[in-house]
Chains A and B, each alone.
Chain A
Amino acid sequence: MPLIDGCIHPWPAGDSSLRRMAIEARELGFDQVVAVGGGGDVPGVLRGTVISASSVKEVVAAVQGIPRGSGVVMVNAGEIAFNRAVIGLRGVRVLRGIHKAPKGAFNHVAAREAEVRGVAVELDFSPLVEGRGLSRQRVISRYRDILQLARRYAFPCTIASNARSILAQRSVRDLVLLARLFGMEEEEVTGALSSLDSILAGRSPVQVVRG
């Protein structure tokens, strides 16, 4: 299964070109990256779109404007009702920015729906790397809660560096070490890094669920 960095933001949003970030990602142990923006057709790069909206109507309009099969559609998380509605939308693959959403914005009901719809929750590692003090503690605590729900309800997670520079990209080994901060095991990290591949391929009619 390919290991995929769930989201990067190349030039002009950042200071590194898409090609350079793809080269760096390969050296750091990734097979593919999801890039939001950046030009050119680069091997090992999946295209991604981030939808930031305050209402579900806006998300629906934005999703309808994206041609089907044109990459990974990610929506920034909000309140619990918004998140549940977004998870139910056709075409949405990833709910991102869950650490910035209010507490309780992702509960067991949303977790069950995410599992049924095959929508992944993104774990953004940039606040673990760049954050300090209370802000990082909150993120670790939030991810611990998400991980507990993921273990119980088996919805997919993705891991993203959300790097805007090659200097913000981290190796697979670094991500494994950082994930231990909230109790994520190495197997779970590699599973999360490769989950986008199966999400994009579509759900198999037969599913093996661990008891």
Chain B
Amino acid sequence: MNQLPSQRERRRYILVRFEPEGVSPDPRELYAAVADACTSLWGDAAASEISPSVMAWEGQAIIRCRRGTEDRLATAVATITRVGDRRVAARTVTTSGTLHGIRSRPLPRPEALWEREVGIGGRAFLARGYAGQKVDLIENGIKGQEMLFFADEDGEVR
């Protein structure tokens, strides 16, 4: 049943970005991670009150919740350490009352400035340099691609 706009439930939208740079979580896996974090931290009743839903794309996501529960959702988001099999950090950027408001604040997509092969401890890594002197290293190989996080000035990546 359609409701008048004034009778609809009020929502809040939280913009979240993900690290490592360039990671794009699958929306379904992200929803599972958010729902699990909310349930684990606040319990089933409070999680249903928060009622999170997720829209995700290229390293960012908008998570919707009921108005008044945004702090509880942001706390739960801070406890997310994995999405699917990937280790990630979810950083809350801003909160808005409208989808339009939050979409007007797009985050720049992090582009790798350079790439090269480096060796650390006898292992080969693909090094990707990002703005802010950040260098992400992805282990070459099929099995267990470990990631390391260094900076431009670190001797290991020079």
> Which residue numbers of A lie inside 8 Å of B, CB to CB?
11, 15-17, 19-21, 23, 27-28, 40, 128-130, 132-133, 136, 165-171, 173-174, 177-178, 180-181
Contacts and interface: CB of A to CB of B under 8 A. Distances in A.
Q: Which of A28, A40, A165 has the largest count of B CB atoms less than 10 A from its CB?
A: A165
Contacts of A128: 79
Interface residues of B, number: 28
Contacts of B74: 173-174, 177
23 contacts: A11-B148, A16-B148, A17-B151, A17-B154, A17-B156, A19-B150, A20-B134, A20-B150, A23-B133, A133-B40, A165-B87, A166-B20, A167-B19, A167-B20, A167-B87, A168-B89, A169-B89, A170-B78, A170-B89, A171-B91, A174-B78, A177-B74, A178-B79
A12 B40 CA distance: 32
Contacts of A165: 87, 149
Contacts of A19: 133, 150-151, 153-154
Contacts of A17: 148-151, 154, 156
Contacts of A169: 89
A21 B147 CA distance: 14
A167 B150 contact: no
B151 A20 contact: yes
Interface string B78-92: 110100000111011
Q: Which of B71, B133, B148 has the largest count of A CB atoms less than 10 A from its CB?
A: B148
